[in-house]
Protein backbone atom coordinates (compact mmCIF):
# COMPACT_ATOMS: atom_id res chain seq x y z
CA UNK A 1 0.00 0.00 0.00
CA UNK A 2 1.30 3.45 -0.91
CA UNK A 3 0.12 5.13 2.28
CA UNK A 4 1.50 7.11 5.19
CA UNK A 5 0.45 5.88 8.63
CA UNK A 6 0.79 7.71 11.93
CA UNK A 7 0.89 5.38 14.94
CA UNK A 8 0.74 7.07 18.33
CA UNK A 9 2.52 5.10 21.03
CA UNK A 10 4.15 3.15 18.21
CA UNK A 11 7.51 2.68 19.93
CA UNK A 12 6.43 -0.41 21.89
CA UNK A 13 3.81 -3.09 22.44
CA UNK A 14 0.71 -3.22 20.25
CA UNK A 15 1.64 0.00 18.42
CA UNK A 16 5.02 -1.34 17.34
CA UNK A 17 3.43 -4.61 16.15
CA UNK A 18 0.96 -2.53 14.09
CA UNK A 19 3.93 -0.63 12.63
CA UNK A 20 5.63 -3.87 11.61
CA UNK A 21 2.47 -5.13 9.97
CA UNK A 22 1.67 -1.92 8.05
CA UNK A 23 5.33 -1.51 7.03
CA UNK A 24 5.28 -5.06 5.56
CA UNK A 25 2.22 -4.03 3.57
CA UNK A 26 4.25 -1.13 2.15
CA UNK A 27 3.05 1.82 4.24
CA UNK A 28 5.50 4.48 5.41
CA UNK A 29 5.27 4.94 9.16
CA UNK A 30 5.44 7.93 11.49
CA UNK A 31 5.88 6.80 15.09
CA UNK A 32 4.54 9.46 17.44
CA UNK A 33 5.69 8.54 20.93
CA UNK A 34 6.55 10.27 24.20
CA UNK A 35 9.70 8.15 24.52
CA UNK A 36 12.02 9.70 21.93
CA UNK A 37 14.84 7.16 22.25
CA UNK A 38 12.54 4.13 21.90
CA UNK A 39 10.72 5.78 19.02
CA UNK A 40 14.04 6.31 17.17
CA UNK A 41 14.99 2.69 17.80
CA UNK A 42 11.58 1.49 16.59
CA UNK A 43 11.78 3.63 13.43
CA UNK A 44 15.23 2.19 12.67
CA UNK A 45 13.87 -1.34 13.18
CA UNK A 46 11.16 -0.57 10.62
CA UNK A 47 13.69 0.55 8.01
CA UNK A 48 14.37 4.19 8.98
CA UNK A 49 15.01 6.94 6.39
CA UNK A 50 11.81 7.55 4.38
CA UNK A 51 10.25 4.22 5.41
CA UNK A 52 9.74 5.04 9.08
CA UNK A 53 10.34 8.17 11.14
CA UNK A 54 10.20 8.94 14.83
CA UNK A 55 8.39 12.08 15.96
CA UNK A 56 8.60 12.79 19.68
CA UNK A 57 5.07 13.64 20.79
CA UNK A 58 3.05 14.01 23.96
CA UNK A 59 -0.48 13.33 22.73
CA UNK A 60 -1.84 15.09 25.83
CA UNK A 61 -0.19 18.37 24.75
CA UNK A 62 -1.95 20.20 21.90
CA UNK A 63 1.15 22.21 20.89
CA UNK A 64 3.19 19.01 20.67
CA UNK A 65 0.50 17.33 18.53
CA UNK A 66 0.30 20.31 16.15
CA UNK A 67 4.11 20.30 15.76
CA UNK A 68 4.16 16.56 15.08
CA UNK A 69 1.47 16.85 12.41
CA UNK A 70 3.47 19.58 10.64
CA UNK A 71 6.70 17.56 10.83
CA UNK A 72 5.02 14.43 9.50
CA UNK A 73 3.56 16.21 6.49
CA UNK A 74 6.92 17.91 5.84
CA UNK A 75 8.86 14.65 5.99
CA UNK A 76 6.42 12.10 4.55
CA UNK A 77 4.22 14.29 2.38
CA UNK A 78 0.80 13.67 3.93
CA UNK A 79 -1.16 11.19 6.02
CA UNK A 80 -3.69 8.50 5.06
CA UNK A 81 -3.90 6.25 8.13
CA UNK A 82 -4.03 7.15 11.82
CA UNK A 83 -3.77 4.57 14.59
CA UNK A 84 -4.56 6.26 17.91
CA UNK A 85 -2.85 3.78 20.19
CA UNK A 86 -0.93 5.75 22.85
CA UNK A 87 -2.23 4.94 26.30
CA UNK A 88 -1.48 4.55 29.99
CA UNK A 89 -3.44 2.53 32.57
CA UNK A 90 -2.80 4.63 35.66
CA UNK A 91 -2.55 2.77 38.98
CA UNK A 92 -4.98 0.11 40.20
CA UNK A 93 -6.57 1.78 43.23
CA UNK A 94 -10.14 2.20 44.46
CA UNK A 95 -11.83 5.37 43.23
CA UNK A 96 -12.13 6.67 46.79
CA UNK A 97 -8.31 6.66 47.10
CA UNK A 98 -7.44 7.78 43.57
CA UNK A 99 -5.08 10.78 43.34
CA UNK A 100 -7.11 13.48 41.59
CA UNK A 101 -4.19 14.68 39.43
CA UNK A 102 -3.35 11.15 38.31
CA UNK A 103 -7.01 10.57 37.40
CA UNK A 104 -6.97 13.66 35.19
CA UNK A 105 -3.67 12.63 33.52
CA UNK A 106 -5.11 9.19 32.57
CA UNK A 107 -8.07 10.96 30.92
CA UNK A 108 -5.74 13.47 29.24
CA UNK A 109 -3.52 10.83 27.63
CA UNK A 110 -6.13 8.22 26.69
CA UNK A 111 -9.07 10.41 25.67
CA UNK A 112 -8.26 14.13 25.36
CA UNK A 113 -5.03 13.20 23.56
CA UNK A 114 -7.01 11.14 21.06
CA UNK A 115 -9.23 14.16 20.39
CA UNK A 116 -6.13 16.36 19.90
CA UNK A 117 -4.60 13.92 17.41
CA UNK A 118 -7.87 13.54 15.46
CA UNK A 119 -8.32 17.33 15.56
CA UNK A 120 -4.90 17.81 13.95
CA UNK A 121 -4.98 14.90 11.49
CA UNK A 122 -8.55 14.68 10.17
CA UNK A 123 -8.23 17.98 8.23
CA UNK A 124 -5.11 16.54 6.57
CA UNK A 125 -6.97 13.42 5.44
CA UNK A 126 -10.20 14.94 4.14
CA UNK A 127 -8.87 16.56 0.92
CA UNK A 128 -7.64 13.14 -0.33
CA UNK A 129 -11.12 11.61 0.07
CA UNK A 130 -9.67 8.47 1.69
CA UNK A 131 -8.54 7.68 5.20
CA UNK A 132 -8.61 5.08 7.95
CA UNK A 133 -8.63 5.92 11.65
CA UNK A 134 -8.34 3.22 14.30
CA UNK A 135 -8.82 4.16 17.93
CA UNK A 136 -7.50 1.70 20.49
CA UNK A 137 -9.99 1.33 23.34
CA UNK A 138 -10.16 -1.67 25.71
CA UNK A 139 -12.60 -4.17 27.18
CA UNK A 140 -12.33 -1.87 30.23
CA UNK A 141 -14.32 0.68 28.22
CA UNK A 142 -17.14 -1.81 27.64
CA UNK A 143 -17.29 -3.59 31.01
CA UNK A 144 -15.35 -1.38 33.46
CA UNK A 145 -12.50 -2.94 35.42
CA UNK A 146 -12.67 -2.50 39.20
CA UNK A 147 -9.91 -0.27 40.65
CA UNK A 148 -9.35 1.23 37.19
CA UNK A 149 -11.98 3.99 37.13
CA UNK A 150 -9.97 6.57 35.14
CA UNK A 151 -8.84 4.07 32.53
CA UNK A 152 -12.32 2.50 32.18
CA UNK A 153 -13.95 5.93 31.84
CA UNK A 154 -11.37 7.10 29.28
CA UNK A 155 -11.71 3.93 27.20
CA UNK A 156 -15.54 4.17 27.24
CA UNK A 157 -15.04 7.74 26.03
CA UNK A 158 -12.90 6.46 23.16
CA UNK A 159 -15.81 4.30 21.97
CA UNK A 160 -18.17 7.31 22.06
CA UNK A 161 -15.66 9.53 20.25
CA UNK A 162 -15.21 6.85 17.57
CA UNK A 163 -18.95 6.54 16.92
CA UNK A 164 -19.48 10.30 16.80
CA UNK A 165 -16.56 11.04 14.46
CA UNK A 166 -17.45 8.07 12.24
CA UNK A 167 -20.94 9.48 11.63
CA UNK A 168 -19.54 12.96 10.95
CA UNK A 169 -17.17 11.56 8.33
CA UNK A 170 -19.37 8.77 6.93
CA UNK A 171 -19.54 10.14 3.38
CA UNK A 172 -15.98 11.53 3.30
CA UNK A 173 -14.07 8.33 2.54
CA UNK A 174 -12.47 8.45 5.99
CA UNK A 175 -13.58 5.48 8.11
CA UNK A 176 -13.26 5.52 11.89
CA UNK A 177 -13.34 2.31 13.92
CA UNK A 178 -12.10 1.12 17.27
CA UNK A 179 -10.51 -1.91 18.87
CA UNK A 180 -11.33 -3.36 22.28
CA UNK A 181 -8.55 -5.75 23.31
CA UNK A 182 -8.52 -7.81 26.47
CA UNK A 183 -5.20 -8.12 28.28
CA UNK A 184 -1.99 -8.40 26.26
CA UNK A 185 1.33 -8.77 28.06
CA UNK A 186 3.15 -5.48 27.31
CA UNK A 187 4.91 -2.78 29.32
CA UNK A 188 1.59 -1.08 30.03
CA UNK A 189 0.77 -3.68 32.70
CA UNK A 190 3.68 -2.52 34.89
CA UNK A 191 1.56 0.07 36.72
CA UNK A 192 -1.04 -2.51 37.73
CA UNK A 193 -0.96 -4.86 40.71
CA UNK A 194 -0.52 -8.62 40.02
CA UNK A 195 -4.04 -9.14 41.46
CA UNK A 196 -5.54 -6.77 38.87
CA UNK A 197 -3.70 -8.51 36.01
CA UNK A 198 -4.85 -11.93 37.27
CA UNK A 199 -8.43 -10.60 37.55
CA UNK A 200 -8.25 -9.54 33.90
CA UNK A 201 -6.88 -12.92 32.78
CA UNK A 202 -9.54 -14.81 34.74
CA UNK A 203 -12.27 -12.91 32.85
CA UNK A 204 -11.11 -14.22 29.44
CA UNK A 205 -13.06 -17.37 28.42
CA UNK A 206 -10.20 -18.58 26.19
CA UNK A 207 -8.12 -18.70 29.37
CA UNK A 208 -5.10 -16.86 27.99
CA UNK A 209 -3.83 -13.37 27.25
CA UNK A 210 -4.01 -11.96 23.71
CA UNK A 211 -0.89 -11.28 21.66
CA UNK A 212 0.33 -8.08 20.02
CA UNK A 213 0.25 -9.87 16.65
CA UNK A 214 -3.44 -10.79 17.03
CA UNK A 215 -4.26 -7.16 17.75
CA UNK A 216 -2.07 -5.87 14.93
CA UNK A 217 -3.83 -8.20 12.48
CA UNK A 218 -7.22 -6.76 13.40
CA UNK A 219 -5.92 -3.19 13.20
CA UNK A 220 -4.33 -3.91 9.79
CA UNK A 221 -7.73 -5.00 8.48
CA UNK A 222 -9.34 -1.79 9.75
CA UNK A 223 -6.60 0.20 7.96
CA UNK A 224 -7.05 -1.60 4.64
CA UNK A 225 -9.00 -0.96 1.43
CA UNK A 226 -10.88 -4.19 2.18
CA UNK A 227 -12.44 -2.58 5.22
CA UNK A 228 -14.92 -0.48 3.28
CA UNK A 229 -18.41 -0.81 4.82
CA UNK A 230 -17.58 -0.55 8.52
CA UNK A 231 -17.38 2.76 10.34
CA UNK A 232 -18.14 3.58 13.96
CA UNK A 233 -17.69 -0.12 14.68
CA UNK A 234 -16.08 -1.74 17.70
CA UNK A 235 -13.86 -4.70 16.78
CA UNK A 236 -13.23 -7.19 19.56
CA UNK A 237 -9.99 -8.98 20.40
CA UNK A 238 -10.94 -10.27 23.82
CA UNK A 239 -10.86 -14.08 23.67
CA UNK A 240 -14.63 -14.16 24.20
CA UNK A 241 -14.75 -11.74 27.15
CA UNK A 242 -16.90 -9.05 25.52
CA UNK A 243 -19.29 -10.71 23.11
CA UNK A 244 -21.31 -7.58 22.42
Ligand X SMILES: NC(=O)c1ccc[n+]([C@@H]2O[C@H](COP(=O)([O-])OP(=O)(O)OC[C@H]3O[C@@H](n4cnc5c(N)ncnc54)[C@H](O)[C@@H]3O)[C@@H](O)[C@H]2O)c1
- Contact positions toward ligand X, by CB under 6 A? 8-9, 11-15, 33-35, 57-60, 85-88, 109, 113, 136, 138, 181, 183-184, 186-188
Q: Which residues pair with 120 in a beta bridge?
A: none
DSSP 8-state symbol, 172: T
Alpha-carbon dihedral sign for residues 75, 80, 83, 86? positive
CB-wise, 2 or 202, nearer to ligand X? Answer: 202
Handedness of CA 81, 237, 193, 99 (dihedral sign): positive
- The minimum distance between CB 229 and ligand X, in angstroms, equals 25
Contact yes or no for 68/32 (Cβ under 8 A): yes
Give, in order, the Cα–Cα distances in Å from 190 to each of 73, 91, 111, 137, 184. Answer: 34, 9, 20, 18, 12
Give min distance, CB of 73 to ligand X, in A. 18
**Is 33 or 143 the residue whose CB approaches ligand X more closely?**
33
CB of residue 2 to ligand X, shortest distance in Å: 26
At closest approach, how far in Å is the CB of 223 from ligand X?
A: 15
Closest to 178 measured CA to CA, from 188, 187, 168, 165: 165
Contacts of 217 (CB under 8 A, 6+ apart): 21
Beta strands in the chain (DSSP E): 4-8, 28-33, 52-56, 81-84, 131-136, 174-181, 234-237
Minimum CB separation from ligand X for residue 33, in Å? Answer: 5
Torsion angle of the four alpha carbons 147, 151, 152, 155, in this order, in degrees rounded to the nearest 10:
-170
Nearer to ligand X, 85 or 177 (CB): 85
Q: What angle do CA 82, 5, 78 make, to 5 degrees?
A: 95
CB of 43 to ligand X, least distance (A): 12
Closer Cβ to ligand X, 85 or 149, answer by number: 85
- Write phi, then psi, for 150 (nearest 5 degrees): -65, -45
Catalytic residues: 151
Nearer to ligand X, 80 or 145 (CB): 145
User: Considering beta carbons, is residue 80 or 238 the nearer one to ligand X?
Assistant: 238
Amino acid sequence: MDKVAIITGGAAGIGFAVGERLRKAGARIAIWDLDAARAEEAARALGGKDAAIAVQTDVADWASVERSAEQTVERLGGVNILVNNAGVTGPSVPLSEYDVHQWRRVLDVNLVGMFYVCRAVVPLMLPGGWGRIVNVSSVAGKEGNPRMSAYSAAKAGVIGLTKSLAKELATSGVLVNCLTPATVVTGILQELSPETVEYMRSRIPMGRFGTVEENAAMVAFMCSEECSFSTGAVFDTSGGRCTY
